[in-house]
A and B are shown apart, each in its own frame.
Chain A
Amino acid sequence: MTGEARAVKRSGWNGRKKKQLKLVLLLLPFMALVFVFSYAPLFGWGYAFVDFTPGVSMFESKFVGLKYFRRIFGNSADFIKVMRNTLTISSMNICCSVLPAIFAIALSMVKRPRFAKLVQTASSIPNFLSWVLVYSIVFMLIASESSAMNIILMRLGLVSSPLSPLTNYEHAWTIQVSIGVWKSLGYNAIIYLSSITSIDQELYEAADVDGADAWKKVLHITVPGLLPTFFVLLLLAISNMLSNGFDQFWLLATGMTWDKLEVFDTYVYRMGIKNMEYSLATAMGIFKSVVSILLLTAANIGSKKLRGTSIF
């Protein structure tokens, strides 16, 4: 068969159908993968409505209705504490989300490209370190008795006994949020930096003609130019309020700060796996997913109302 004849056959109705079938068949293994790891666990939501013990199937377990949901909301001081911690830390993080924008604006005002590039390169490194490594760094640089910070402070005579930020109950939230900001600030600034470069340069030139100084230009051109990006990220952050991330709080919480640093993700893990409360932990997971989806939908509606476009 010549190439042309084959092409004719392919473009015919039969060939097209065949190709469609082939495409679907080729896609199937990937759908199966996603199904197993993302959809199959959804059936596990049933565990929240039965008295589940490992080894017994969901259908043989005793159906208890909303017992575990009632337990979460009813008499749980733990749940209130965990919600308070989660929401406080998320809110503090959201407040800090202006910092990357400020950092990017500051960096864009440095008219020395090589220095700016160097700073950008250096400051985005922590984002690519694992939380275990961050834990190790925090421990060795500021937290342990023989940490760099303590050696210096003691030598300068500024403190009489070593500081121990990781066991500090009073400032536990601030310390954790600061560590998070340190880790992500430089990387998060990159998106703002590229937004800044996409702002129309003519606006700046026009402002120059009008005699605007550097601060005026930032205030009237750069900041408005960054607002859409900032807004999208803000909405996404709000819809993610219940996820503070497991790693940071599992690793960096200590016995002393546990009361303030137990967040949703660590609590679910502790209840489910450590205390074997599978049903209760599943119910909490359902609660989290539902709230997250509601928040995301609300954020999307908000975005449509305010900007005319949805975020996703």
Chain B
Amino acid sequence: MNTQATAKQPKIQQKAKWTIHEVVICVIVGLFAFMCVYPLWYIFVNSFSTPAAVNRGVFLIPIDFTTEAYGEMMKIAGIGSSIWIAFARTITGTCLTLACSSFAAYLLANKDLPTKKLLYRFFIITMYVNAGFIPYYLTISNIGLKNNFLVYILPTAVQAYFLILIKTYIEGIPAELTEAAEIDGAGILRTFWQIILPLSKPIIATIAVFAAVNQWNAWSDDMFFMQGRKSASLHCLQYLLYQKLQQNAVNTQAGAAAGAGVKVSNSTLRMAMSFVTVVPILCVYPYMQRFFTKGIMLGAVKG
């Protein structure tokens, strides 16, 4: 925090005087912010250091800069396919969620839909009524989605929470616009594609980032439904990291003891993998931020 807090201070100091309570608050919240960011920096600098340096402690900048850990990481069985699967599920999953949730929301917002309220409830109830894990697991097995890529993307295609957000937004669009389009002869699909979708861009963007982060971060569906050798090429990156961490948790002492001698230790490998896993999140994070408030507020109002 101190690096951030003090870096900011001189500039701002001219504007307002520091009171004691403000200094105290700044130090506390700054310290917390630092605690949130520093672990990522720690992973970054350690992943580019040699195991010997890591054992002595690397905190600020890489020591004995090396990319060996990343080279070693690329040798892990299935790493290539796991990165590919992670991106594939994030991209296809997000697109599918957007397409299904927004179109379903548009239909549910349409005032011509008969028994509208009942149909809307049919979707919303799923937020509150949960069958539990075992029946869900057995259903997935019964319909043959086990060891199938579709299990990553199909169950999340229509989500009640997203439906609420998009429907609320669409209902805020003036009805005259859609009516005008219909009078001009546009059908349901065309109205959706040419009128509703362009006007709903802000909410669609909000949901896109949240859906994408959810997909990228998912790992438990992988553990539940991808079993055996058959689906070895269907694991995603998060799961591979999980497996690696499990292994390391067991033989960490041995690794640490041998760490000084070898080029790549378990810990640097772990750091490299973790860093690769977090990079996409950090890349979209700056774009996500402006959607936070909107997403949360809408959900809080109607959710």
Query: Do A and B make up one complex?
Result: yes
Chain A residues with CB under 8 Å of chain B are 3, 6-7, 10, 16, 19-20, 22-24, 26-27, 30-31, 33-34, 36-45, 47, 103, 106-107, 109-112, 114-115, 118-119, 121-126, 128-133, 135-137, 139-141, 144-146, 148, 151-152, 155, 182, 185-187, 190-191, 193-194, 214-215, 229, 232, 246-247, 250-251, 254, 265, 268-269, 272-273, 278, 281-282, 284-286, 288-289, 292-293, 296, 312
Contacts of B239 in A (CB 8 A): 132
The yes or no answer to B256 lying at the interface (CB within 8 A) is: yes
Q: Which of B135, B245, B281 has the most CB atoms of chain A within a 10 A radius of its CB?
A: B135
Query: Are A10 and B182 touching (Cβ within 8 A)?
Result: yes
Q: How far is the CA of A69 from the CA of B33 in the complex (A)?
A: 47
Q: How far is the CA of A119 from the CA of B4 in the complex (A)?
A: 9
Contacts of A146 in B (CB 8 A): 54-55, 256, 259, 267
Query: Are A155 and B57 touching (Cβ within 8 A)?
Result: yes
Residue in A40, A106, A128, A265 whose CB lies within 8 Å of B28: A106
CB distance from A237 to the nearest CB of B (A): 13
Query: Are B271 and A110 touching (Cβ within 8 A)?
Result: no
A106-B28, A139-B249 in contact; A289/B155 too (CB < 8 A)? no
Contacts of B217 in A (CB 8 A): 128-133
CB distance from B78 to the nearest CB of A (A): 16
Query: Are B213 and A23 touching (Cβ within 8 A)?
Result: no
Query: Are A265 and B133 touching (Cβ within 8 A)?
Result: yes
CB distance from B171 to the nearest CB of A (A): 15
Contacts of A106 in B (CB 8 A): 25, 28-29
Residue in B43, B137, B139 whose CB lies within 8 Å of A272: B137
Cβ-closest 10 pairs across A and B: A285-B132, A44-B135, A41-B131, A130-B217, A122-B33, A38-B126, A41-B135, A151-B57, A30-B104, A119-B33
Residue in B42, B119, B293 whose CB lies within 8 Å of A194: B293
CB within 8 Å of A: which B126-178 residues = 126, 128-139, 143, 154-155, 157-158
A38-B126, A111-B22, A272-B133 in contact; A246/B300 too (CB < 8 A)? no
Chain B residues with CB under 8 Å of chain A are 4-5, 8, 12, 15-16, 21-22, 25-26, 28-30, 32-37, 39-40, 42-43, 46, 54-57, 59, 100, 103-104, 107-108, 110, 112-114, 119, 122-123, 126, 128-139, 143, 154-155, 157-158, 182-185, 188, 213, 216-220, 224, 238-239, 241-242, 245, 249, 252-253, 256, 259, 267, 270-271, 273-274, 277-278, 281, 285, 288-289, 292-293, 296-297, 300, 303
Q: How far is the CA of A132 from the CA of B112 in the complex (A)?
A: 46
Contacts of B113 in A (CB 8 A): 20, 23-24, 27
CB distance from A266 to the nearest CB of B (A): 10
Contacts of A155 in B (CB 8 A): 57
Q: How far is the CA of A84 from the CA of B28 in the complex (A)?
A: 33
> Chain A: interface secondary structure?
helix
Q: How far is the CA of A81 from the CA of B133 in the complex (A)?
A: 20
Query: Are B267 and A133 touching (Cβ within 8 A)?
Result: no
Q: How far is the CA of A282 from the CA of B30 in the complex (A)?
A: 46
New A-B contacts (18) at CB < 8 Å, excluding given A38-B126, A139-B270: A3-B183, A7-B185, A19-B112, A23-B114, A33-B154, A41-B131, A41-B139, A44-B131, A106-B28, A114-B12, A125-B37, A131-B217, A137-B39, A146-B55, A155-B57, A186-B33, A278-B134, A281-B132
Query: Are B22 and A44 touching (Cβ within 8 A)?
Result: no
Query: Are B242 and A251 touching (Cβ within 8 A)?
Result: yes
A33-B158, A47-B135 in contact; A27/B119 too (CB < 8 A)? yes
Residue in B15, B107, B270, B296 whose CB lies within 8 Å of A26: B107
Contacts of B273 in A (CB 8 A): 136
Residue in A7, A139, A148, A289 whose CB lies within 8 Å of B57: A148
Query: Are A45 and B131 touching (Cβ within 8 A)?
Result: yes
Query: Are A45 and B112 touching (Cβ within 8 A)?
Result: no
Contacts of B5 in A (CB 8 A): 115
Query: Are B135 and A43 touching (Cβ within 8 A)?
Result: yes
Query: Are B245 and A132 touching (Cβ within 8 A)?
Result: yes
22 interchain pairs, CB-CB under 8 A: A16-B112, A27-B119, A34-B158, A44-B135, A45-B132, A45-B135, A107-B25, A118-B8, A128-B217, A131-B217, A132-B239, A136-B274, A137-B39, A139-B249, A140-B46, A141-B42, A146-B54, A190-B296, A268-B133, A272-B134, A285-B131, A292-B128
Contacts of B21 in A (CB 8 A): 109, 214-215
